[in-house]
Amino acid sequence: MTSRYRSSENASTANSLPPSRRTVVKAAAAGAVLAAPLTAAPPAGAADAAPAFLHGVASGDPLPDGVLLWTRVTPTPEAIPGSGTGPDTEVSWVVATDRAFTNIVAKGSVTATAAFDHTVKADVRGLAPATDYWFRFFAGGTDSPAARTRTAPAADAAVEGLRFGVVSCANWEAGHFAAYRHLAARGDLDAWLHLGDYIYEYGTGEYGTRDTVVRPHAPAHEIVTLADYRIRHARYKTDPDLQALHAAAPVVAIWDDHEIANDTWSGGAENHTEGAEGAWAARQAAAKQAYFEWMPVRPAIAGTTYRRLRFGKLADLSLLDLRSYRSQQAALGNGEVDDPDRTLTGRAQLDWLKAGLSASDTTWRLVGNPVMIAPFAIGSLSAELLKPLAELLGLPREGLALNTDQWDGYTDDRRELLAHLRANGIRNTVFLTGDIHMAWANDVPVSAGTYPLSASAATEFVVTSVTSDNLDDILKVREGTVSAVAAPLIRAANRHVHWVDTDRHGYGVLDITADRAQMDYYVLSDRTEADAASSWARSYRTRSGTQKVERVHDPV
């Protein structure tokens, strides 16, 4: 594998409630020797008397001149996440061009308060583009771990290449986050993308784990209050592999449904019972507040995660929020999926996306997309496969033709977007997708029924889950068993699908040059093992100007 690691030393100088109704939930469609982690994981327990940084440090949303820094300080032993207690605490931060912090280029301070669960953010500006930096925090004589981040290239820079880690769907109880560890150890990422389901809202034992809870949630019940969501985020942030990845490169994150509740839509969710679990508006607000407290994300529009980042002349990245504005998921067989009054994106977000794709002057237009946009027909599957897939999707088990939680359930939005790409000659649009707990490489056809005689408007790379159940887990069979049977049938019914792996967990690495965008897919040996190995599975690319996916026989 060719490494493009840029050493920071060579960088130029510049800153308990009722359980859920469902115990098996929609998944949406159904070794190397590693370098040591950058930082050791802090203990998961309470702090000593002095302030402590128990939840690591992170950075995100890189800009050419800056980056967002994040941490959480525990000022006193009782000021644990979600407690709403603890004194106001001054937290200082520094940014340097070297790991030894001999050349500090930016510094400042911010006050951590109980009102924000003692989380802090520093939006640092005045940095040099395309540069590695090191940062850390201080409070009451205690230093946080040190971490690396990287700024984006200048907007007009001719960029030779970019490399992003790509992940989604991490169920704490189902296993360990070895995928994050392997990405952290690479040392060559400009950033990493989290495409949703960073946390899960279910109570212990309520979400698929092959009947084995590898490690229990905190809190143990389904989360519905602000304190609950804060505690769940905090539990995730104690994971050593997640901490290592946050300390290795900036994250660009969006939410999907499980950051709030399964199958979230603008007015509710499948996994929310109005009254018994409080008011939907209050639960949604609590979930979003905790998310923005605990994630290094800039909300471009208050209460959403849709925004756009640029990486020189090579690529821009439009990030979607497909939960805040969507209409309720349609029932099957009644024609609602084609209703033009129903929306997945909301009018304003769709117009924003279309305008941004039209105005883009970069070689590649990347779209961070929480749910699959390529059509997916599964009627050709045998009964023994159709039943568990329907269970995985949370849909009826007979007459199943599509998943209405994806773009398939909102065909007018998809038609309008793809027509816009075609009518305006917009090329090199690549959707980067999570949610579905499988790996896919897809063309995105204007008309799936006539493809490949009709055109492809874009391409799509879908990454599998970090730990969340896929089809072999639902059936409790040996890994690879289901994919060997199901993948050929899925491809036969969906000619725009070049590859699907229904069974394995892992992550992707997206490598972009002016000539092609390539996704290298990696899989884990065992999600339940903390030291799980990683191996390359497949690579697919789309060449500039083609709007089609092709297989590559070697990773970058």
Q: What angle do CA 437, 442, 445 make, to 5 degrees?
A: 130
* β strands within 43-161, DSSP E: 57-63, 66-72, 89-96, 104-112, 119-124, 132-139, 142-143, 147-150
**Spatial strand order in the sheet of 119-124:** 119-124, 66-72, 57-63, 251-253, 191-194, 162-167, 506-512, 516-524, 534-543, 549-552
Cα separation, 516 vs 507, in Å, equals 20
Residue 371 carries which side chain, given as an amino acid letter? Answer: V
**Angle of helix 481-493 versus helix 383-393 axis, rounded to 10:** 90
Under 8 Å between Cβ of 465 and 169: yes
What pLDDT sits at residue 201? 98
Compute φ and ψ for 460, nearest 5 degrees.
-145, 130
Tokens of 193: 């993308």
Q: How far is CA 197 from CA 365, 371, 523, in A?
A: 23, 11, 19
Q: Which of 507, 483, 514, 510 is nearest to 497 (CA)?
A: 483
pLDDT at 16: 30
Instruction: Report pLDDT for 449.
Output: 83
Q: Going by DSSP bridges, is the β-strand pair 429-433/456-462 parallel, antiparallel, or unpaired?
A: parallel
E strand or H helix that includes residue 508: strand 506-512
Burial class of residue 161 (count of CB atoms within 10 Å of its CB; 0-12, 13-18, 19+):
middle
CB 228 within 8 A of CB 82: yes
Q: Which parts of the chain sit beneath pLDDT 50?
A: 1-46, 395-401
437 in the Ramachandran plot: left (φ > 0), alpha (ψ -120 to 50) or beta? Answer: left
Question: CATH number for the 152-552 domain, one of 3.10.450.750, 3.60.21.70, 3.40.50.300, 3.30.420.10?
Answer: 3.60.21.70
Q: Please state the domain extents for the chain.
A: 152-552
Residue 132 identity (one-letter amino acid): D
Question: Which strand (E) or helix (H) includes residue 550?
Answer: strand 549-552
Helix (H) or strand (E) holding 233: helix 226-236
Say what the pLDDT of residue 512 is.
98
Buried b (16+ CB within 10 A) or exposed e, 132-141: bbbbbbbbee
pTM: 0.89
Helices 280-294 and 226-236 pack at an angle, to 10 degrees, of 30
What token pair was written down for 159?
């960029």
Q: What is the pLDDT of residue 141?
A: 93
Q: What is the pLDDT of residue 556?
A: 87
What pLDDT sits at residue 320?
98
Peptide bond into 129 cis (omega under 30): no
Please identify which residue in the block is written with the tokens 């992707």: 508
Between CA 169 and CA 506 the distance in angstroms is 10
